[in-house]
């Protein structure tokens, strides 16, 4: 059985008939969002065609709005909902340069280099990858009772700015 989850109202950014976008409840990382299906399923193929079409638009508009507000170096979007009790949902994680620097300054995460599988002589263009940064964000900004210092606007400001940006984009305007 999939349980209904309603985030606190102050973290909800927008709702449609099929989707809810909110700031992740347990995240200290500003802009870490959850886009969840309102239908109690974990199977994309069971969603209405309109919901599937809306999914692409919502993800694109959310990326554009986060880009304007936070200017992340990377934006990760992952599909989840396999855990018992959770409907299909997407994690949207902005990875700003300050998050990358926080990751690199935490010596505990240097142990991840021991798992590097690049063949000898292969040029690596980045010092880390999405899996490592996702692990870092989850462990440090969501699970750690004392998360690393945050740079940039606070969560409440990001939520309010996203509400404005997404409403403007929905009506065909440009990001304010």
pLDDT in tens, 90-103: 999 999 999 999 99
Mean pLDDT of the chain: 89
Buried b (16+ CB within 10 A) or exposed e, 45-82: eebeeebeebbeebbebbeebbeebbebeebbeeeebe
- The answer to whether 67 and 75 have CB atoms below 8 angstroms apart is yes
Q: Which domains does the chain have, with CATH numbers?
A: 9-166 (3.30.428.10)
Using the predicted structure, report yes or no on whether residue 173 has a pLDDT greater than 80.
Answer: no
Q: Please tell me the pTM assigned to this model.
A: 0.89
- The answer to whether 166 and 59 have CB atoms below 8 angstroms apart is no
- The answer to whether 141 and 23 have CB atoms below 8 angstroms apart is no
Q: Residue 108 burial (CB < 10 Å; 0-12/13-18/19+)? A: exposed
Using the predicted structure, report yes or no on whether residue 16 has a pLDDT greater than 80.
Answer: yes
Q: What is the pLDDT, as a whole number, of residue 175?
A: 73
Q: Which residues are 78's β-sheet partners?
A: 91
Which stretch, 41-45, 101-105, 128-132, 139-143, has highest mean pLDDT?
A: 139-143
Length of the chain: 176
Using the predicted structure, report yes or no on whether residue 1 has a pLDDT greater than 70.
Answer: no
- Cα 88 to its chain centre, rounded Å, is 14
Which stretch, 58-72, 80-94, 121-135, has highest mean pLDDT?
A: 58-72
Using the predicted structure, report yes or no on whether residue 119 has a pLDDT greater than 80.
Answer: no
H/E stretch holding 77 reads strand 74-80
Question: Per-residue pLDDT averaged across 143-172, rounded?
Answer: 94
Using the predicted structure, report yes or no on whether residue 135 has a pLDDT greater than 90.
Answer: yes
Coil, strand, or helix at residue 81? Answer: coil
- Cα separation, 151 vs 77, whole angstroms: 21
Range in 67-81, 92-106, 114-128 the model is least confident about: 114-128
């Amino acid at each position: 059985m999939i349980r209904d989850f309603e985030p606190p109202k102050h973290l909800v950014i927008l709702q449609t008939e099929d989707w809810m976008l909110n700031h992740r409840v347990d995240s200290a990382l500003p802009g870490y969002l959850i886009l969840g299906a309102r239908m109690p399923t974990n199977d994309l193929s069971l969603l209405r065609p309109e919901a599937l079409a809306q999914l692409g638009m919502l993800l694109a508009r959310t990326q554009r709005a986060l880009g304007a507000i936070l200017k992340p170096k990377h934006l990760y979007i992952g599909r989840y909902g396999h855990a018992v009790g959770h409907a299909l949902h997407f994690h949207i994680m902005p990875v700003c340069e300050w998050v990358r620097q926080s990751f690199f300054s935490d010596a505990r995460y240097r142990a991840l280099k021991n798992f590097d599988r690049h063949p000898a002589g292969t040029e690596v263009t980045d010092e880390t990858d999405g899996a490592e940064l996702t692990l870092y964000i989850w462990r440090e900004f969501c699970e750690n009772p004392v998360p690393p210092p945050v740079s940039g606007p606070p969560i409440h400001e990001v939520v309010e700015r996203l509400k404005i940006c997404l409403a403007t984009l929905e009506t065909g305007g440009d990001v304010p």
